[in-house]
């Protein structure tokens, strides 16, 4: 690939390679040296003031996060009766939202760890904020089990307390498995994210224009000097954490699905849940990455790094996992019929045609039908279409968790115990508040930390490999 000058002509030439079947489009546009990459990415953090839209969004998000804290306080003072949970729907919106947020956090680890192990270079421009998104989503998810127990001051009972306190935690409970799985996932994801940040924090430290920034970035960069020994230790640690994080992608949401699969309730007691939940989590996680990446690349001018090739690859994964989720929906109906179990058959027919059929068909429309647009390349590469589909997917995946949890509980074995669940204003506003918390953390991250992995982006440029002339980004030969 030839080195192109940084001008509008070069932009046209680079963009045109997207449609050239003989050559893959580059992962970094309009940059022919490493210094310009550093300048452009660091400009996001070093600008005297962020864009006005950043302030507007932060005020709205922080207000919603404050509302969340007040509602949690109101819940603690008043009790869980302020929610819509009832008999028989003992698990309502809190568990729906917990599973939703845990699922959102899956794309970050998948992009970072699994694609890193498979040496997929297109991950480099999106892994940093995907990892950050994972951490913030798990923080939102972790809020719900703590407040769902009712007696919040006894939340430490969720943890495996030593038996000399005569607490005797129930290790056979899937809820305790959740504590182990989610806390391990959060810890490894946080370490993975932080280790990847160290070289870039050192870059910001060296470029800091005031003492406070220099001290803060210097403290967290752990004395990084970019020596050969530092890079060697860094790459070893990063590889080790990627290897640790990879099985967590499969295990965490599998364990979350055990909350339901290990019960005897029709609609929950099914062995397809672990792979079904994992596929759905990756599906919703990539949709959230798109939802965040598309505005970010526009507002902060990151189109040279988050290119159409990155977005199109994510759309392909959404298409794949969305098709897998649709297959799982069909399999559930088939097994319910094939098993001959009357209660199971009723549970699934009731989902599609019962009192919650509106939620079921919203789920199917958003999760199965809308991603099918990505079979067409012109739709896959259209910013407005992919952003709209990503929103639909997130809506559909929330409704999937709602359908699984609420419909199975609302009409169980005994018609005499049937009921209808309706959320209260506290349910709704608490959920909205978690989006405020999520976006507040994300906006602060963009402002104060490098949103893209500077060192990793440089490593995928042709200039990083003197032997890459005549080859594309994955070292496959390009014919003239």
CB 55 within 8 A of CB 423: no
**Burial label, 272 (beta-carbon count in 10 A; 0-12, 13-18, 19+):** middle
The pLDDT of residue 391: 92
Tens digit of each residue's pLDDT (9 = 90 or more) over 92-103: 888 899 989 988
Give 477's strand partners. Answer: 471
CB 249 within 8 A of CB 110: yes
Rounded to an integer, what distance in angstroms lies between the CA atom of residue 54 and that of residue 56? 6
Rounded to an integer, what distance in angstroms lies between the CA atom of residue 356 and that of residue 261? 21
The pLDDT of residue 22: 55
The pLDDT of residue 341: 82
Taking CA atoms, 439 is separated from 61, 133, 214, 467, in Å, by 6, 9, 26, 43
Q: Domain boundaries in the chain?
A: 51-445
The pLDDT of residue 16: 39
The pLDDT of residue 61: 93
**Burial label, 94 (beta-carbon count in 10 A; 0-12, 13-18, 19+):** buried
Residues of the chain with pLDDT under 70: 1-24, 31, 163-169, 463-480
Tell me the H-state helices in 208-341. Answer: 211-220, 228-261, 273-299, 308-339
DSSP 8-class letter at 112:
I
Rounded to an integer, what distance in angstroms lies between the CA atom of residue 382 and that of residue 366? 18
The pLDDT of residue 247: 85
Tens digit of each residue's pLDDT (9 = 90 or more) over 353-374: 888 889 999 999 999 999 999 9
Element spanning 104, H or E: helix 93-104
The pLDDT of residue 275: 87
Contacts by 211-220 with C-beta closer than 8 Å and gap 24+?
none
Taking CA atoms, 133 is separated from 37, 446, 455, in Å, by 23, 11, 20
The pLDDT of residue 11: 38
CB 182 within 8 A of CB 104: no
The pLDDT of residue 361: 92
The pLDDT of residue 433: 93
Rounded to an integer, what distance in angstroms lies between the CA atom of residue 68 and that of residue 82? 14
* For the chain, counts of helices (H) and of strands (E): 19, 0
Rounded to an integer, what distance in angstroms lies between the CA atom of residue 447 and that of residue 126? 16
The pLDDT of residue 479: 36
**Superfamily in which the 51-445 domain is placed by CATH:** Formate dehydrogenase/DMSO reductase domain (1.20.1630.10)
């Amino acid at each position: 690939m030839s080195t192109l000058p940084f001008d509008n002509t070069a932009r046209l030439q680079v963009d045109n390679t997207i449609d050239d079947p003989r050559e893959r489009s580059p992962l970094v546009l309009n940059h022919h040296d490493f210094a310009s990459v550093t300048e452009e990415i660091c400009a996001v953090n070093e600008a005297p003031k962020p864009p006005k839209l950043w302030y507007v969004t932060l005020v709205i998000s922080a207000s919603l996060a404050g509302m969340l804290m007040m509602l949690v306080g109101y819940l603690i003072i008043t009790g869980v009766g302020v929610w819509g949970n009832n008999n028989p729907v003992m698990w309502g919106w809190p568990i729906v939202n917990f599973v939703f947020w845990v699922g959102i956090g899956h794309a970050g680890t998948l992009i970072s760890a699994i694609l890193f192990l498979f040496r997929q270079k297109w991950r480099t421009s999106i892994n940093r904020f995907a990892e950050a998104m994972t951490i913030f989503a798990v923080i939102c998810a972790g809020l719900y089990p703590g407040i769902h127990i009712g007696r919040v001051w006894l939340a430490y009972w969720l943890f495996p307390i030593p038996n000399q306190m005569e607490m005797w935690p129930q290790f056979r409970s899937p809820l305790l498995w959740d504590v182990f799985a989610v806390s391990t996932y959060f810890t490894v994801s946080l370490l993975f994210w932080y280790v990847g940040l160290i070289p870039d924090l050192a870059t910001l430290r060296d470029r800091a224009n005031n003492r406070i920034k220099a001290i803060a970035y210097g403290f967290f960069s752990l004395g990084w000097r970019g020596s050969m020994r530092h890079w060697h230790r860094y790459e070893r640690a990063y590889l080790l954490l990627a290897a640790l994080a990879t099985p967590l992608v499969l295990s965490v949401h599998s364990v979350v699905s055990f909350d339901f699969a290990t019960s005897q309730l029709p609609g929950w007691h099914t062995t397809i849940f672990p792979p079904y939940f994992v596929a759905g989590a990756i599906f919703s996680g990539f949709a959230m990455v798109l939802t965040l990446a598309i505005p970010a690349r526009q507002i902060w001018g990151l189109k040279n790094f988050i290119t159409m090739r990155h977005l199109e690859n994510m759309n392909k994964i959404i298409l794949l996992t969305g098709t897998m989720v649709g297959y799982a929906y069909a399999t559930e109906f088939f097994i319910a019929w094939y098993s001959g179990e009357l209660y199971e058959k009723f549970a699934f027919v009731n989902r599609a045609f019962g009192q919650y059929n509106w939620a079921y068909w919203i789920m199917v429309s958003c999760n199965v039908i809308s991603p099918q647009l990505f079979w067409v390349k012109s739709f896959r590469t259209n910013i407005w279409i992919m952003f709209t589909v990503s929103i639909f997917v997130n809506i559909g995946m929330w409704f999937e968790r709602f359908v699984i949890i609420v419909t199975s509980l609302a009409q169980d074995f005994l018609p005499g115990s049937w009921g209808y669940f309706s959320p209260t204003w506290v349910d709704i506003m608490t959920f909205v508040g978690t989006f405020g918390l999520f976006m507040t953390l994300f906006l602060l991250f963009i402002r104060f930390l490098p949103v893209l992995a500077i060192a990793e982006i440089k490593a995928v440029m042709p200039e990083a490999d003197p032997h890459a002339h005549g080859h594309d980004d994955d070292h496959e030969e390009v014919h003239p």
